[in-house]
Structure 1
Amino acid sequence: MQALLQAIATMDMPLDAQRIFHGRGGLHPGSEQWALDAFPPLLLLTSFEPVTDDTLALIHEALSARWQQLAPEQPLNWVFQCRHEGRTETRLMAGSVPEPHVVTEQGARFRVHVLKGQNHGLFLDMAQGRRWVREHVAAHPGGKVLNLFAYTCAFSVVALQAGARHVLNLDMSDGALAIGKQNHPLNGLTAGASFMPHDIFKTWGKITRMGPYHLVIVDPPSYQKGSFVATKDYARLMRRLPDLLMPGGHALLCLNAPELDLAFLQDQMQELAPQLRFEERVANPAVFADVSPERALKVLVYKAPEWTPD
């Protein structure tokens, strides 16, 4: 746990939502169970193993001491979540949680919820993916974007901010899309986005008719029973990509499954959509460094061939 305490003692004042300490990457022996995130104005500490009250008291002391240095005029707000053997326990340890709770990232604003569930409304490891979308769309403004497994539509927000003409957001969760709908006006976006709370695999006709798209974003769960299992369902998406993309269009393929390596995506793309050319792997935020890059989040960019006259 010493590495976690050192990270707390040296952390800067967090302004944007971000990860502060990533023990899960295996680069801090003895601290693998810990993750510390900032969702200003609070900190969220997650443990993937049971924790004693004495340990939590020690961490509280460290957080209090650093907060007194960083912002003595502001209260320390922090939440603890333990995830172990399929159970999740969340506790407010100090201060309070704002309602609504809105955080920022690169100038965009998002609603989050840290006291319920394991997914808090914004996946911090995807920050560089959102940056890539922002920069890509800014360089190719006026395009149409398809956002599959849209969750709370963070990709849609940054794409529209960067100049996309329209973003179609699909997700099976009405609740997630409801937050996504709130995220758009929160950023002054009152047009350009549509939302479909549908099963993607039962909606291909409508998705195709509304295309083709300049950018297709695929960010599915790695395993969600009854919805999506990467090992069998990702291939079904890959087969559709060539028909969904404009000539010269791009696809952003995301996968957060430690047990599946880069070759899982690249080999299947070579087999199922060989006309799409691999361009790059988007780097993860530095704080999410992993002892095995193959286990970390994978975000790959592919490009469709340009149109050429016969």
Structure 2
Amino acid sequence: MPSLDQALRAALDSRQPLLADLHQQGTDCYRLFHGSQEGAGGLTVDRYGPQLLVQSFHTSLERDALLALHQLVNERLGVDSLLVYNDRSQGNSRIDRRDPVYQADEQALADLTGHEWGLTYRVRGRHAGQDPLLFLDLRNARGWVKAHSAGKRVLNLFAYTCGVGLCAAAGGAREVVNLDFAEGNLAVGRENGALNPELPPMQFIQSDYFPAIRQWAGLPIAQRRGHKLPSYPRLEQRQFDLVLLDPPAWAKSAFGTVDLLRDYQSLLKPAILATAEDGVLICCNNLAKVALEDWREQVLRCASKLGRPVRDCQVLPPAADFPSLDGNPPLKTLILQF
């Protein structure tokens, strides 16, 4: 197995054509090293504008190796990046921020901005959550939305920090609705909107997925016997021209369970019904253990059973900064044309 230095140099070499294209299109947020596929399992190196975010998920990275990595990236990119190292290999890494390996500078941990597809995004190396505020592997999907949103009513489900909504607004959508359960995520989405003041305003709805999507789809909201449901926003039944469904792998609430492995259909069915007759639904599944073809068949079968057969189904793979040796990347994206 190659050393980390050798693996990193090979990864940077392979990305040169991609980075040139990304820089030309106004993008300075991308993955520089995808360790599980490039020789150092559990290690990722991402650029977010002026910040270099290094994260280890299996074992801690030694300080000398971290600093050598930082120096090499700076030399190759011709930048003086601000280093943030998140060691996520320990069980309490979400709350333990003692940073025994490397203390990031205050400037590196300040509110920064990065860019993708010519748009500006909020960047924080550390925040109340643990994941970066922009998931880089969804960049191609955001680009597709930006290129196909003109005049459309767009619904961004599980919106997180609303990057898809921002791209829809930039692409000329006549309406953009972002739905997420966490107000903190939507707050960053509002920041992203404010960082791009030339764009039309977006809508933000804080709600559990199930009551919101089932109201839009015209379906009843189930209630377990003897259990009173929490309050939720009341919404009118309606459809959207372009819907993006990018759920987490698993989550549970009083309204239902998100389970991409065992019950994708409970998420998919109402999303299909909330998509216009001639609309587009982009659906994602980020579970590595789910095979693309099996999932694709499941999705198409669900649509057919609803009387909404798919006219065209396109697979949209992640960009080349997320290589997959077996051709089966964890993130799978389907573009369904009804």
Q: TM-score, normalised by structure 1?
A: 0.85
**Which of 76, 79, 85 pairs up with 2:84?**
79
Query: Is the Cα–Cα contact under 8 Å of residues 109 and 125 in structure 2 kept in the other structure?
Result: no
Partner of 2:293: 263
**Which of 65, 75, 78 pairs up with 1:58?**
65
CA distance in structure 1 between the partners assigned to 2:12 and 2:337 by the alignment? 44
CA distance in structure 1 between the partners assigned to 2:104 and 2:131 by the alignment? 21
Deviates more, 1:250-259 or 1:218-227: 218-227
Structure 1 residue 214 and structure 2 residue 235: aligned?
no
CA distance in structure 2 between the partners assigned to 1:51 and 1:206 by the alignment? 46
Unpaired runs of 5+ residues, structure 1, are 305-310
Deviation at 1:3, TM superposition (A): 3.8
Deviation at 1:301, TM superposition (A): 0.6
Deviation at 1:264, TM superposition (A): 4.1
Identical residues among aligned pairs (%) = 28
Name the CA shift for 1:76/1:198 in 2 (closer, same or farther; >3 Å). Answer: closer
Name the CA shift for 1:98/1:86 in 2 (closer, same or farther; >3 Å). Answer: closer
Structure 1 residue 123 and structure 2 residue 135: aligned?
yes
Structure 1 residue 282 and structure 2 residue 316: aligned?
yes
Q: How does 1:123-142 map to 2 (within 5 A)?
A: 123-137=135-149, 141-142=150-151
AA at the equivalent of 2:30 = Q
**Which of 174, 191, 211 pairs up with 2:183?**
174
Deviates more, 1:211-220 or 1:233-242: 233-242
**Which of 248, 252, 256 pairs up with 2:282?**
252
- SS of 2:28 mapped into structure 1: coil
AA at the equivalent of 1:35 = T
CA RMSD of aligned residues (A): 2.6
CA distance in structure 2 between the partners assigned to 1:66 and 1:287 by the alignment? 15
Partner of 2:337: 303
Partner of 2:35: 23
CA distance in structure 1 between the partners assigned to 2:103 and 2:75 by the alignment? 16
Partner of 2:161: 152
AA at the equivalent of 1:105 = E
AA at the equivalent of 1:32 = G
CA distance in structure 2 between the partners assigned to 1:254 and 1:9 by the alignment? 28
Query: Is the Cα–Cα contact under 8 Å of residues 56 and 87 in structure 2 kept in the other structure?
Result: yes
Deviation at 1:296, TM superposition (A): 2.3
Deviation at 1:128, TM superposition (A): 0.6
CA distance in structure 2 between the partners assigned to 1:142 and 1:39 by the alignment? 30
Question: Residue by residue, what CA displacement relative to the aligned partner does 1:91-128 show, whole Å, maximum 9, x if unpaired?
Answer: 45454316321111111111122123431110001111
Partner of 1:239: 269
CA distance in structure 2 between the partners assigned to 1:8 and 1:293 by the alignment? 17
Q: How does 1:97-116 map to 2 (within 5 A)?
A: 97=108, 99-116=110-127
Question: Residue by residue, what CA displacement relative to the aligned partner does 1:181-237 show, whole Å, maximum 9, x if unpaired?
Answer: 111121115644211110111123543435311101000101234452213442112
Q: What is the number of residues matched between the two proteins?
A: 294
Deviation at 1:278, TM superposition (A): 4.2
Name the CA shift for 1:9/1:262 in 2 (closer, same or farther; >3 Å). Answer: closer
- SS of 1:203 mapped into structure 2: helix
Partner of 1:195: 204
Deviates more, 1:148-157 or 1:10-19: 10-19
Deviation at 1:41, TM superposition (A): 0.9
Name the CA shift for 1:277/1:262 in 2 (closer, same or farther; >3 Å). Answer: farther
- SS of 2:216 mapped into structure 1: helix
Deviation at 1:59, TM superposition (A): 3.1
AA at the equivalent of 2:178 = N
- SS of 1:84 mapped into structure 2: coil
